[in-house]
Amino acid sequence: MTYPTPPPPPSSRPPAGPGAHTDRADTDGALPPSAVATVPAPAPEAASAPDPAAPPAPKRKERDPFFDNAKFLAILLVVIGHSLAYRLEVPAAKGLYMFIYMFHMPMFIVVTGYFSRNWTFAGGKARKLITNVGVPYVVFEIAYSLYDWVVGRNKMEISLLDPYFLTWFLCALFFWRLSTPVWQQIRWPLAVALVFSLLSYMSELGDTFNIHRVIGLLPFYVLGLLLKPEHFELLKRPAARILGWLTLTGGLVLMYPAMEYMNRSWIYWKDPHGELGVGNLTGTAMRLAMFVAATLLVAAFLAVVPKRRTWFTHLGATTLYAYLLHGFVTRLLDFTDWWEAAWLNTIPGVIAVIAGAAVVGTFLCSKPVVICMRWALEPKMTWAFTPLRRPGWMRSGGKSGKGRPAGKSA
């Protein structure tokens, strides 16, 4: 015989209000109205007195301003770098451009890997991968192709298999996220990823999905997966900040003499050794040196990032907007020949380009832009999904036929 369980006292329920959290477990255990009506209302003193036995209300986890600051400053480097690409006739601009390209995308990839450590196919994360990475890739791949057709080269070309301009990062991120469970289970993930990367540059793999970048930059993503919070705490120390500034300054100074002998295509991470005019032995040694240099510069950059909340901290949460949208501005200036202005080939002109790029990057992270473009970068798309489909034997409790697990015989 069973007996009805009396309703819990009101003081044991979580407090209601804007900060209260309700999940499926709470709603499944809700009482019928008739049962609630039989519970006498508590006295005002009892209602206001805190219950020491009641669990504390869950606190919303706050974002670490350090990472948002890092992402915002990094996206400014991306926009500045793409703007300086039109000023490479100026030695000062060329050196700064190559220096930025040595580490700005590796930095983004390392941080992305760090925040992907808990990525699985469960909990709706696969859906979010589709809506926040896959869908924007399709939208902007088509948008940039149409933009070129209307404004620029007047030739209609749309290919989802050959990422155009900025969209290669979304394509790579999609594959990297899918591979996350693999790297979390093998014994030496970074070493394996590095071997795959080095081997990928020894032969021509074609342009499909920009595969050289997908595999070539993979070690930075795996490195991020392996990092822990205490590693970043080391970079927040005062001594690390000093070393960071010294490393960045030294790297920038060394880039100016090196740029006269270094093929600029190395910094794009997309060409095999044959196209760079070197053998596999020389090319592998160069790639290893670039991995080391990029990792040191990433660590140095993170070491100088402000740790406290700043006026731009909140903009670090929307850097993907600036990344995908700023290309429309830089390419419009290219299509309209604005970059051909002679005064831009001077030091004041280069400074003006850097300042303008920083303003554009900041604006594209702002709330008005996010509100206008959220439909393309963060679509809900609940209509496109169904409940997770499971095999029949799982739906029947792991049994099939006469009580045997599916796929097994007596």
User: Is-contact 376 137, C-beta < 8 A?
Assistant: no
User: Is-contact 84 93, C-beta < 8 A?
Assistant: yes
User: Is-contact 76 318, C-beta < 8 A?
Assistant: no
Return the structure tokens found at 261: 């002998």
335 burial (CB, 10 Å; 0-12 / 13-18 / 19+) is middle
Mean pLDDT by 10 residues, the chain (410 residues): 43 39 35 37 44 55 89 97 94 96 96 93 84 95 90 76 90 95 94 97 91 96 97 95 97 95 94 94 97 98 96 96 95 87 92 97 97 94 80 58 46
Q: How far is CA 243 from CA 74, 101, 280, 320, in A?
A: 19, 21, 34, 29
Which pLDDT score, from 0 to 100, does residue 393 have? 58
User: Is-contact 114 228, C-beta < 8 A?
Assistant: no
- Please tell me the pTM assigned to this model: 0.81
Amino acid at 234: L
User: Is-contact 200 212, C-beta < 8 A?
Assistant: yes
* CB hemisphere CA count around 201 (13 angstroms): 30
Cα(277)–Cα(262) distance, rounded to whole angstroms? 12
Which pLDDT score, from 0 to 100, does residue 164 have? 82
What's the gap between Cα 388 and its chain centre? Answer: 25
Amino acid at 311: W
